[in-house]
A and B are shown apart, each in its own frame.
Chain A
């Protein structure tokens, strides 16, 4: 009874794996998300509406469909998957990397949306002013746009991380539910609920999920407040 709250070694494995998958997914997708958000906020190019749609698609598609699409594209026999394995030895299917890819794809819309809104809130004349002061477009991006969008980037990254921790449908469809490799917290909870006597384990992992999500939200608030204090936009 005293050990009721104690996490089993298997559960620790799932928690560590979840944090790794979500962390890698978030960090890996962050540069892409910022570039996409900037292109959608400031760019004027053909096919912008299509790009817009593609980025947000995982948000509205059934996660199973996204997972299946990943399987078709990034599986060992998939068009992209086969190429990546040949060229870089990078394998996604039934690996934790695949879980991270699924989480990244699912988190991307949330990240892009938050970053895009914060870039759109920046007065374009600030960027023009930087240009007339001698800053090239690339320098303007790094010295003006990016610092001013920082609160949005942090918020987007936290949302993406939280989404990655909770991702279930696309992950299980794409890389299955292999303990120690692709079994993240939600997949482990699912396993517990399917087995007799798994209630305690499901409850423990659920509490852990809540705790991690809450910590992430509090940390992002604190970070946002700190950037505001150090002179960020109101």
Chain B
């Protein structure tokens, strides 16, 4: 979908990155200041000083070797800014149709009605943009970009300015754009749950360079070296059994059931993100405990020398779950590579945002 090979020099910052993406949702992931937004701006044509070559869907948008630079308004890409950037002098409907009207009729693949339905913004049409909430503004901004029938939709941290309730309000809409409208999406984020939930592939940036790219489980696993305190593991469930009476869902897994907070939609990805700091280890499953999730495995590796160490547990079924525990506990439980153990996870400690299709 995208082939990106470009560099940009700025005082105190150098971007020099290369990656390729396929259709679907690609997350551009990395800490603040790593160059994620610069990559997006280069693809959108908003940075003129870049060098290199960028193509989207086979179309060359920039090729500095051949002095080729397609201006932004001819690139046919959608861009959603972090803070919406709705036109304050136009109402919601005029904002939505601004780019639609400029799209050649033959290329209009997305209609207003479909966008209104997918984003749930029908009731806002006549409103003044000043009266919208943050989540509503962001949905209108997404709709405005989608209505140009873009070859690629880029979102620059579209949820970063929103609180977690508003985030959960928007995430399903992004999933619907990805699944129902089939628009390739490049999604910039530094929030691991969003990436884990949405992305079919991840490009990880650090200090202007690509440090990893590929499927989320493989790339985000690199995180434990990169992100202190944000070490995560991915587990893939095999089945989901909602329990409406208690508002939880039991996710089937070869190493044992995982109890999720909330009811999961049928057909969701059954992928769950678990933070290492929320995992406890035990040699046997404790009797009469509130912990609902106990996963069987074998200690594979122990990393770290300080008070807290990182234990990688190879679960039944082959997946790896990481747990941050004290070195004191490690020695007390006599855990070392090859020793069988159970990973215990509190249901309340599983972030709902990290599970696709999970509703409260």
Contacts and interface: CB of A to CB of B under 8 A. Distances in A.
Contact of B79 (A129, A143, A230, A233): A129
Interface residues of B, number: 28
B89 A132 contact: no
Interface residues of A, number: 24
B98 interface: yes
A132 B44 contact: yes
A132 B87 contact: no
Given A128-B72, A133-B148, A232 B89 contact: yes
Contacts of B75: 132
B88 A148 contact: yes
Given A135-B73, A136-B73, A129 B81 contact: yes
Contact of B102 (A125, A135, A147, A232): A135
Given A126-B85, A231-B128, A133 B90 contact: no
Contacts of A230: 89
Contact of A231 (B72, B76, B89, B99): B89
Interface in A126-183: 126, 128-137, 139-140, 143-144, 147-148
A123 B88 CA distance: 11
B154 to A, nearest CB: 9
Contacts of B90: 231
A135 B74 CA distance: 8
In terms of DSSP, what is the predominant structure of the interface of chain A? Answer: helix
A126 B90 CA distance: 12
B268 interface: no
B73 A131 contact: yes
Given A144-B87, A233-B89, A134 B148 contact: yes
A132 B77 contact: yes
Given A134-B99, A135-B73, A231-B130, A129 B89 contact: no
A137 B98 CA distance: 14
A31 B144 CA distance: 31
Interface string A28-55: 0000000000000000000000000000
Contacts of A234: 88, 130
Given A133-B102, A135-B73, A135-B102, A125 B88 contact: no
A133 B87 CA distance: 12
Interface in B240-273: none
A48 to B, nearest CB: 18
Interface string A3-42: 0000000000000000000000000000000000000000
B89 A148 contact: yes
B35 interface: no
A5 B87 CA distance: 51
Contact of A134 (B73, B89, B91, B130): B73
B89 A133 contact: no
B72 A132 contact: yes
Nearest to A150: B89
Nearest to A129: B85
Contact of B88 (A137, A143, A233): A233
Contacts of A143: 98
B78 interface: yes
B103 interface: yes
B46 A131 contact: yes
A223 to B, nearest CB: 15
A148 B89 CA distance: 7
Contacts of B102: 133-135, 139
Given A125-B81, A136-B73, A231-B130, A130 B98 contact: yes
A147 B89 contact: yes
B100 to A, nearest CB: 9
Contacts of B88: 148, 231-234
B145 interface: yes
15 contacts: A128-B46, A128-B85, A131-B45, A131-B73, A132-B72, A132-B78, A133-B98, A133-B145, A134-B73, A134-B103, A135-B99, A144-B89, A147-B89, A148-B88, A231-B128
8 closest Cβ pairs, A-B complex: A133-B99, A134-B102, A131-B72, A132-B79, A129-B85, A147-B89, A131-B73, A231-B89
Given A125-B81, A132-B79, 7 more contacts: A132-B75, A132-B77, A134-B102, A135-B98, A137-B71, A232-B88, A233-B89
